[in-house]
Structure formats: structure tokens, C-alpha cells
Amino acid sequence: MQPSSQDSRVNPDSTVSDRIAPAAIEEVLTPAMCVKDLDFYYGSQKALEGISLDIFNKQITAIIGPSGCGKSTFIKALNRIGELEGKVRVEGRVEFFGQDIYGDRVNPNRLRRHIGMVFQKPNPFARSIYDNVAYGVRLTGRHSKAELDEIVESALKSAALWDEVKAKLNQSAYGLSGGQQQRLCIARALAVKPKVLLMDEPCSALDPIATMKIEELLQTLRQELTIVIVTHNMQQASRVSDYTAFFSTDESRIGQLVEFGLTPKMFTSASQPRTRDYVEGRFG
């Protein structure tokens, strides 16, 4: 279904040598997550059909597509958070470093510690900035005050928020601006040291300056993390991502993967006409 995905794995450095440091090319080839023939149902309603794609380790994968094509559903299937919102059924396989995440013996809570998530609207808890970041860490067991302080500080620094909040760590997180709240949510997700970070339209509720800060942040995080970002904004996808997946629906309202490949190729010479139409703004 996606010949370009195959292409990219065979010869990844032909088009992206300037985007990816040479040392990273080895890692490019290891997928952090493998999705194989994924069908996703809400109750009896099929939402996704036959999705197969690889999410490469320490790369940024953007997911684009028109509204209602199942982008959010797809990334919610990657950390099994979709099943908290209602009755869902999954067919096919989603592997996280070779492990089937829908396997019988998988503890979804432990899984979600490794696959963090940032939501569309900033959703800090009604607590202090410090407690927001420390929450996930405290769930994993007892930590000394010094350890927690260090983790909170480094998470806030990774999220480029430390300098703005270091003087008011004990104040409510609701006192922050929308962009700061979203970066706090990123810091909160980073504090538990995930291997993959899922971002569901993280900038759609933010102004351009806050969006720019988050995009800059993504560029620094990419050295450590595998990132999957859903976005409505095609410029954003082309700016930040290494790989792009284009989802769309047909008349049946079931989301499908149309094409997956290296971002520059997807935006300049996509193989599928539907992808070309979408990225050039002719539909969707």
C-alpha cells in the first residue's frame, strides 16, 4: 500500500543526508514501533483499516490528513489510551521495540510510561508546577526530595520552561500562559523518561509564537526521543518532521493510510495523487 515506505528503508540517506546526522543513520533503520495491519473499532464502528507503518527510532514522524480521518485515533492506539474513552476493539499488531502492546500480559500503565503523550489542549493538573512534573515520577515509587528536584529541573529544562518558572515552582500551573502550560505538559511527559512521545495536535490551541517555541523544542528533543506528531498544519509537518504519514478517508468514513515516506519526498514528489492534492491544498 505504501511503496514509498519501503523505499525509505532501503535507501534512507539519499534524500535526507542533510537532515539526519550520519551517526544516526544506523538508528534510523530500527523502528521504535511497528504497526501491522491495524484495524481499530469504536464499538462496532470501524475507525481505521489496514494501517501498516514503521515509526523509526529517534525520528520525528508527522501524521497529516483531513479532519475525521483517524489521525488522533491512530496515535491513541499507539499507547492504548483510546481504550479509556470507550469500548474499542483492535485487530492487527502494534509492536513497541518488538513487543506486541496489545498482548495479553501487557500492563497498559507500564506501557504508557514508555510511550508518553501530549494532548491537543494543554491539560495541566490543578496543582503546582512542581507537582505537575513530579506526578508521573511519584507514581513509579518513592524518591528522595533531592532526586525529585533534580528530575523536575531537568524535565523543565528539556521542555525549555525552566528559566520561566524556576522562581514559581510552587505556584499553580493554571497561572501559566497557554504555551507555557503546553510546555509544562511536555515536561511532565518527559519527566518519566519515555522512549516515544506522542503529540496530538500540540499546537492547535496555541498562538504562532508559542507554536514556534514548541517546534524549536522538538528539534532539541529529537536527539533523545522518538516523536509522533499529529498536525493539521502542513507547514509544521514539513518543518519539523523526518517522516510523514498521510491519512485519509473514503466514503465509508474509515481512516486509511494513503502514503508514508520521507517528509521532503512527501511534500515535493509524493507517489499518490491524493497526497499531492492534499499537500498542495487542493482538497481537505
Partner 1 sequence: MTTEPNFLDQSLDTEIHQSLPLTRTLFSRGMTVLAFALTGGALLPLFAILFEILRQGLPPLMKLQEMRLLGLPISIPEVLVSLPAPEGVQDRANGFANAIVGTLMMVGIACLISVPFGVMTGIFLSEFGKRNAIANAIRFITVILSSVPSIVVGVFAYAVIVLTKLTIPIPLLNATFQTGGFSAWAGGFALSVIMLPIVALSTEEALKLVPTSHRLASAALGGGRFPTICRIVLASALPGITTGVLLAVARAAGETAPLIFTALSSQFWPQGLFSPTPSLSVLIYGYASSPFKTQNQLAWTASLVLIGLVLLSSILSRLVTRSSLKIR
Residues numbered 189-228 forming contacts with partner 1, rule: CB under 8 A: 189, 192
State which residue, 58 or 112, has the beta carbon closest to partner 1. Answer: 112
131 binds partner 1 (CB under 8 A): yes
Which are the contacts of 87, defined by CB distance < 8 A and separation ≥ 6?
A: 42, 43
Cα 253 from Cα 111, distance rounded (Å): 30
How far is CA 169 from each of CA 126, 132, 140, rounded to the nearest angstrom? 13, 10, 21
Stretch in the footprint of partner 1 (CB under 8 A) among 6-14, 27-35, 105-113, 271-279 = 105-113
Cα 158 from Cα 183, distance rounded (Å): 10
Q: Least CB distance from residue 200 to partner 1, whole Å?
A: 10
Cα 275 from Cα 258, distance rounded (Å): 7
Stretch in the footprint of partner 1 (CB under 8 A) among 7-15, 126-134, 228-236, 252-260 = 126-134
Q: Where do the H-state alpha helices sit in 36-116? A: 71-78, 108-114
Stretch in the footprint of partner 1 (CB under 8 A) among 33-41, 46-54, 143-151, 186-194 = 186-194
Helices 145-158 and 129-139: angle between axes, nearest 10 degrees: 110
21 binds partner 1 (CB under 8 A): no
Residue 119 DSSP code? -
42 binds partner 1 (CB under 8 A): no
Residue span 59-98 as binding mask against partner 1, x where in contact by CB under 8 A, dash where not: --------------------x-x--xx-------------
Cα 188 from Cα 228, distance rounded (Å): 17
Stretch in the footprint of partner 1 (CB under 8 A) among 35-43, 48-56, 135-143, 144-152 = 135-143
State which residue, 182 or 238, has the beta carbon closest to partner 1. Answer: 182
Q: Where do the H-state alpha helices sit in 102-172? A: 108-114, 129-139, 145-158, 162-165
Footprint on this chain of partner 1 (rule: CB under 8 A): 79, 81, 84-85, 109-110, 112-113, 116-117, 119, 121, 123-128, 131, 135-136, 139-140, 172, 185, 188-189, 192
